[in-house]
Amino acid sequence: MIRTEWRTSSPRPVAVVWLDRSDKKNAMTPAMLDDLSSALAAAAERAAAIVLVGAGSTFCAGFDLTLCKDNADALRQLLIGLSRTIRLMREVSVPVVIGAQGAAIAGGCALLAGADVVVTHSECRLGYPVVRLGISPAVNAPFLARSVGHGHTREKLLGGRIFDGREAIVCGLAHELAPTPEQVPGLAMVIADRLAVKPRSGIAATKAWLNELDGCDGWAERALSASLALVGTSEERERLAALRG
Amino acid sequence: MHEPATLTITAPIATLTLSRPEARNALSIDLLQAMHARIDELTHRIAFSSDVHVVILTGAGKSFCAGMDLKQVLDTPGAPLQLLTLLSTFTVKLRMLGAVTIAAVNGAAIGGGCGLATVCDLAITHADSKMGFPEVDLGVCPAVVAPWLVRKIGAGRARAILLRGGLMSGREALAAGIVNECVETLDELDTAVQRLATRLAVGGPNALRATKVLLNELDGSLDAAMANRGAEISAGVLATPEAQAMLRAKLG
């Protein structure tokens, strides 16, 4: 469900990590997030830049909630895995570029706040519609707040509204629009190629300093705890159980 | 001797001009020392006669500021850190001025030069100016300017811009939030800057100052230790063999 390819056209090694469960809109399972973390860590060993993209028409529909309806522990594992993956994207010394086409919802959208550069398209559907399921998106809040500011973060996490790629550019969550959904992964790869040829010392020092400046890694554990605290509560269990499908 | 930074005051507006046009106002040790002297005069004047409410920062000639004059310091041990610390301490003084600051970006504002524009409360440019932070393309790290860019446009946008390097047009700088206004041509810039300065100068000086002080506290602008740490990080990267080789190749 996670697959790593290496760019053959790039002069420096660029790893392309695919979310590859397109029949389920790349909805994430605990195992998939474990594999994603491992793939990112392995790629960082020799890549000069990393691309994260989704196979098929949807970047990522979020957590596979069908696994969580009768199993609170699966939801716990998903939240822990998501937190680890976002932190890892920031910790690696090379730039991480995400290309998100179609939709990036909930946990899928949370991944975006961990990347250094985000490519999408104007009609892409994005958002964090999870409070209505009794799930707290707190796990992503420190990263989103640093990325788009506190005003946008409040509105997007508390309101849970779906917004489009144009709005993602305006609020600063995304940085580049591809003309069509199909061109999103390709554009993300081209941007990664350009980042990969830049001198390593400057890039690594700049990324580390930006991580230190925005200081959100220090909040990651607390944010995860806030999300985990709701898992297994009657509100969360009842709302997930009532979910169709 | 030709003064590399000049200060002209027509109360309530003061103009601080980088005046090293033969080097595109690149930040040399001499220029930065002169900028420190001028801003100290200005700080003193604002504190004691409080007749200056708006300060315009601009460049003489075709450029605003081409960035750090690294060629000058590359072969002298300790000089890069001195140069970068002069910049970082200047940025803090500029931010702490008890007057509203406007960067009139008349031409290229590159690296540390774009950083100066970012430190100002407001910035205006024209559509064709070249702005940006190409440090990573040269193997160096824009650590002094990073905290200011993060404060101005947010950490997410700053991350993408600083890691991607390169340059942008004035119009793109407006879209990114680095400047607050972009006129079509250079000819229109002076008028736009004067219009903005005059409008700002109408505000109650105490209200302007109190608002600025609070904004500085809110966004952590007064953290001089962070600014100086930026200078150390930048100097550290400059000293790496990779950066040295690239800069020598580039600067000749």
Secondary structure (H, E, C), B59-119: ECCCCCECCECHHHHCCCCCHHHHHHHHHHHHHHHHHHCCCEEEEEECCCEECHHHHHHHH
- Output B202 or A49, whichever has higher pLDDT: A49
Query: Does any CB of chain A come closer than 8 Å to the CB of residue B36?
Result: no
Chain CA centroid to CA A152, Å: 17
Position B14 scores a pLDDT of 97
> What are the backbone dihedrals phi and psi of residue B149, each rounded to the nearest 5 degrees, phi first?
-70, -40
Measured CA to CA, the distance from residue B184 to residue B117 in angstroms comes to 18
- Give which of A126, A127, A118 is closest to A176, Cα–Cα: A118
Take residue B7 and report the two structure tokens written for it. Answer: 């200060």
Interchain contact, B156 vs A146, CB within 8 Å: yes
Query: Does any CB of chain A come closer than 8 Å to the CB of residue B77?
Result: no
DSSP per position, B182-222: EESSGGGHHHHHHHHHHHHHHS-HHHHHHHHHHHHHHTTTT
**Which of B159, B174, B221 to substitute to test the interface with A, most A CBs within 10 Å?**
B159
In order along its 245 residues, chain A shows pLDDT tens digits of 999 999 988 889 999 999 999 999 999 999 999 999 999 999 999 999 999 999 999 999 999 999 999 999 999 999 999 999 999 999 999 999 999 999 999 999 999 999 999 999 999 999 999 999 999 999 999 999 999 988 899 999 998 999 999 999 999 999 999 999 999 999 999 999 999 999 998 999 999 999 999 888 889 999 999 999 999 999 999 999 998 76
Position B158 scores a pLDDT of 96
Topology of domain B5-187, per CATH? 2-enoyl-CoA Hydratase; Chain A, domain 1 (3.90.226)
pLDDT over 70 (residue B123):
yes
What angle do helix axes B112-119 and B146-153 make, rounded to 10 degrees? 40
Note if B181 is an active site residue.
no
Chain CA centroid to CA A124, Å: 14
Mean pLDDT of all residues belonging to chain B:
94
DSSP per position, B14-41: EEEEE--GGGTT-B-HHHHHHHHHHHHH
Position A8 scores a pLDDT of 87
Domains identified in chain A, total number? 1
> What are the backbone dihedrals phi and psi of residue A145, each rounded to the nearest 5 degrees, phi first?
-60, -40
Position A30 scores a pLDDT of 98
Position A150 scores a pLDDT of 87
Interchain contact, B146 vs A148, CB within 8 Å: no
Interchain contact, A198 vs B156, CB within 8 Å: no
Domain harbouring A82, CATH code: 3.90.226.10
Task: Note down the domain range covering A151.
Answer: 2-241
Q: Domain segments of chain B: what residues?
A: 5-187
Position A130 scores a pLDDT of 94
Which of B:205-244 have CB within 8 Å of A? Answer: 226, 230, 233, 236-237, 240, 242-243
Contacts of B142 in chain A (CB under 8 A): 206
Take residue B8 and report the two structure tokens written for it. Answer: 């002209």
- Give which of B117, B118, B134 is closest to B58, Cα–Cα: B117
Q: Strand, helix or coil at A117?
A: strand
Residue B134's pLDDT band (cuts 50, 70, 90): very high
Measured CA to CA, the distance from residue B143 to residue A96 in angstroms comes to 20
Measured CA to CA, the distance from residue B167 to residue B190 in angstroms comes to 23
Take residue A32 and report the two structure tokens written for it. Answer: 């998939």
Chain CA centroid to CA B158, Å: 16
Task: Provide the b/e sequence for A126-138 (b: ≥16 CB within 10 Å).
Answer: bbbbbbebbbbbb
Chain CA centroid to CA B187, Å: 22
Interchain contact, A202 vs B233, CB within 8 Å: no
Position A216 scores a pLDDT of 86
Position B99 scores a pLDDT of 95
Provide mean pLDDT across the span B118-140. 96
Interchain contact, A202 vs B136, CB within 8 Å: yes
Sheet holding A117-121, edge to edge: A2-6, A14-19, A49-54, A96-99, A117-121, A176-178
Interchain contact, B164 vs A117, CB within 8 Å: yes
Distance from CA of B206 to the nearest CA of A (A): 28
Distance from CA of A201 to the nearest CA of B (A): 6
Residue A218's alpha-carbon distances to A40, A70, A214, A215, in angstroms, are 21, 33, 10, 6
Three-state DSSP string of B152-193: HHCHHHHHHHHHHCCEEEHHHHHHHCCCCEEECCHHHHHHHH
Per annotation, catalytic residue among B135, B172, B181, B217: B135
Measured CA to CA, the distance from residue A154 to residue A172 in angstroms comes to 14
- Give which of B228, B33, B140, B220 is closest to A203, Cα–Cα: B140
Measured CA to CA, the distance from residue B211 to residue A51 in angstroms comes to 43
Position B1 scores a pLDDT of 60
- Give which of B35, B27, B43 is closest to B99, Cα–Cα: B43
Position A245 scores a pLDDT of 60
Which residues, including other chains, have CB under 8 Å from residue A10's CB and lie 6 or more apart? A192, A193, A196
Residue B54's pLDDT band (cuts 50, 70, 90): very high
- Output A231 or B224, whichever has higher pLDDT: A231
pLDDT over 70 (residue B251):
yes
